[in-house]
Structure 1
Amino acid sequence: MTSEEELCNVGKALSSPIRIEILKLLYEEGLIIGDIAKKLDIPASSAALHLKILEKAGLIRMETQPGTRGSTKLCNRKRDFITIDLSAVNTDIDEITSIEMPVGAYCACNVSPTCGLYSRSGVIGMEDAEYSFYLPERVNAQLLWTSSGFVEYKFANAVPKKRLPKRISVSLEICSEAPNYREDWKSDITVWINGTECGTWTSPGDFGARRGRLNPSIWPNGSTQYGLLMTWEVRKDGAYINEARASDIKVEELNLMSLPYIDVKIGNKEHTKYVGGFNIFGRGYGDFEQDIVMNIEY
């Protein structure tokens, strides 16, 4: 978040204890205005005013639906995380190339049960069957999971030949993989770029206590529902995961201009402490409407 108007709207929205309580109520389920007013013991008109402020800040969404006495509005949380960037714009960056890779468009994989792939319309192949990961229909996958191993992608390298990359980032929604789900199931998830390890993040769990905001109706309750939006970034001064320093690897060590593609591998190292698998969410599942996004600044 860099816009001053956005920042002011969010600041106003979060400055009220009542509005914080509303966000907590909406964590588990969507509620209509009347139900929110009753739970907080405030007038419906006051609840509506608070909800408008939260909606303006982009923290919730309100959808009109039929009610017993005309229409009413169903309220749902829209965001779980907000990133505020107070740094100045980096004017020495000339161009950014961005590619969004579908979750199922991997070029290599090593998976083991529990594992599987789903498109928006249903399962691809069979759950817990490794052969499913090699079906041509896998390119339609918008959710994949495995209890260990890796998936590997090749992103087109669209940086002009005479330019030097200044930073590269890979962003995706991801979490651990346990049977069904388990919120405290840790997993050490590593990203490699062009074969170079760029940092390991310990996922705190496999999240399923509430439904993912984008999940289609065919996806059952009681299974993994959403992940966290994580970004691995390699700069001139080192590698970072969601802005926390992860390693001393520098962007020039990745040899990004040596090939017409950039290799990105995501997975568990074989002998890491927490081999807890992973779920990768595409734009049709989870909480964040995106596939795997690679950005290169040069």
Structure 2
Amino acid sequence: MRSYYGRPVLKEPVWKVPDVPAYLYLGGMAGASSTMALLAGLTGRERLARAGRLAAAVGATTSVAALMHDLHRPMRFLNMLRVFKPTSPLSVGSWILAPFSGLAGAAAAGDVTGLLPGPSRAAGVVAGAIAPAMTTYTAVLLADTAVPGWHEGYRELPFVFAGSALTSAGAVGMVGAPAEARPARRMAVAGAVLELAASRRMESRMGLAAEAYRTGRAGGVLRAARVATAAGAALALSRRRPAGLTAGALLTLGAIATRYGVFEAGRVTARDPRFVVEPQRERVSEPGTSGRGEVH
């Protein structure tokens, strides 16, 4: 299908690889790791808590760096903080990412240096409270666009990203604190189940746009992600350290591949006008609809 004058119906997102896929993965991993650190600290698992705090700080800081690199100018990110606009996912996301990064960094700095233990623990608690929003706001950011491959999955995409974030944090715990990794293993398995179930549900519901998730480069990457995630979750059930390390590696690869696959599938649907025009035609031709106002 060709669009009017052979031009795309939608302008393809200008976000680049690897900056934005890295931003998507690192932000989710950081958020879930911060939650893991908070819960581990409350239950006396200090090694696991420290691994989570360090991962949250590194992930959040690197996520900000990847975003700034994609924007070309650091000031563009700072300009997003000039106004808080509740109706804009980009504005809300910026106001989640900025304080979370600072708080996670302060909590990790207190761990490493031993200075100001009280304030650093408080920073870790507040970061852990913000963390659930950190794990899912990027899914809302994507789904709020007009790109069919992202927008049509708006109901399930936050659950896909939340599950992927949990597996990422579980991997951090299994590798960084193997002696206290039991809660991390459970987190990884729960995240894998959530991610795989939500992905399946999303693809079954999103209509034509699901084709981009099953074919081409994006389809291949997402199939590999599902295999790595399922295999990592199965190995996470074992208490043996080598199995935990292998599970951590597989889950990390699966999470990275999931974020890249979703990102690439969206770009495919933006480039091909068929993914925009055909669903609109179907909505217009549905009984009880008047052709006017149905095509957005």
TM-score, with structure 1 as normaliser: 0.29
Larger Rg: 1 or 2? 1
TM-score by length of 2: 0.29
Q: Which structure has greater strand proportion?
A: 1
